[in-house]
Structure 1
Amino acid sequence: MDDEPEILAAWRLILENEGYEVGCASNGVEAVVRAATRVPALIITDWMMPLMDGPELCRRLKAIPELAKVPILMHTAVPPPEGAVRNWDVCLRKPVGAELFLTTVAKLCRQRH
């Protein structure tokens, strides 16, 4: 999930071309509902999003027993502030190259299985 639709569309295309099944949400509230309906292998989120920011999304996902162990990749231009509670597994700062992004996604998906 990303707050910029064109970035979301680009990463979706890249991931699908690598063989991943991708579901997207336009905001944090929708992301919680979608993830709870069909537990994903990985959740990718941005720090800044409408309705619910990335840190709050991560907090809520980790509070749902079925989703607590799903790895979360924070993909953001805004660095997490010092002392922020880290309810995500990896944080990649934008802009990030496709190779690092895909390597990180593969690693996190392997951790889940």
Structure 2
Amino acid sequence: MTKTELAQRLEMEVGISHAAALAVINSLAKIVATHVAQGGTVQVTGFGRFLSKDWPGRQGKSPHTGKPVWLPSTRIPVFKPSAGFKAAVRDARSFKEDEAFAEI
């Protein structure tokens, strides 16, 4: 699903304009990314958690030359799905959207 398709679903589900749906999606992405980049966690009950994880530096190998290369430490974004989200994906054949995310 693309951002445009997601916006169309929001239009139908919530009854808002396409521009408003895109604004909501863009704002949500910006808010989550900014908060996670600052080391915070964003938890959406029934959906999952967005957080960052420190990745330690390590010795690697250059794919071009085969020589050792130092890969510096960095921070990466992580998404941890909730139990309900995992169950919805696992049981996709019998998935009923209204039941799976009723607690949101």
Q: Normalised by the size of structure 2, how large is the TM-score? A: 0.33
The structure with the largest strand share of the pair is 2
Larger Cα-atom Rg = 2
Q: Normalised by the size of structure 1, how large is the TM-score? A: 0.31
